[in-house]
Amino acid sequence: MTVAYWIIAGLLGVFYLYAGGKKILQSRERLAPMMGWVDTVPMPAVRAVGAVEVLGAAGLVLPPATGTAPVVAILAAVGFVVLQILAAGLHLSRGEAKDTGLNLVLILLAAVAAWLATAF
């Protein structure tokens, strides 16, 4: 279970660190071609989502790695489930049902990570 957790947490961590970093650092114009929703959401909200993603990635990795407050990993994974449910809802509200596949995969991975993190 520990190896499975680290594989999933590593994949999620890299994904969210990259995606969150882009949302924090890049302009609306640079984000829009790959994230069409940024045109309809205020940039402070986009930056906040990016910050949540980066902090969540740290929450998945650092507590289990250090043995300090391992419950944070569970909370981070559950937070990613909630984030992706909201993201899928945004896509559906914009008529982008075809874009929810990645959201579903991320929901599944985060849910499995939350379950596996209970072993710590």
**4-22: average pLDDT:** 98
Binned at pLDDT 50, 70 and 90, residue 1 comes out as confident
Give the Cα separation of 70 and 51 in Å (integer): 21
Q: What is the pTM of this model?
A: 0.93
Q: How many residues does the chain have?
A: 120
Predicted pLDDT of residue 62 = 96
- The residues near 92 (Cβ < 8 Å, ≥ 6 apart) are 100
At 37-49, the pLDDT tens digits run: 999 999 999 999 9
| DSSP assignments along 86-108, one per residue | HHHHHHHHTT-GGGGHHHHHHHH
Give the Cα separation of 64 and 18 in Å (integer): 21
Binned at pLDDT 50, 70 and 90, residue 97 comes out as very high
**104-110: average pLDDT:** 98
Give the Cα separation of 33 and 120 in Å (integer): 40
Side-chain half-sphere of 86: how many Cα atoms within 13 Å?
Answer: 7
At 59-91, the pLDDT tens digits run: 999 999 999 999 999 999 999 999 999 999 999
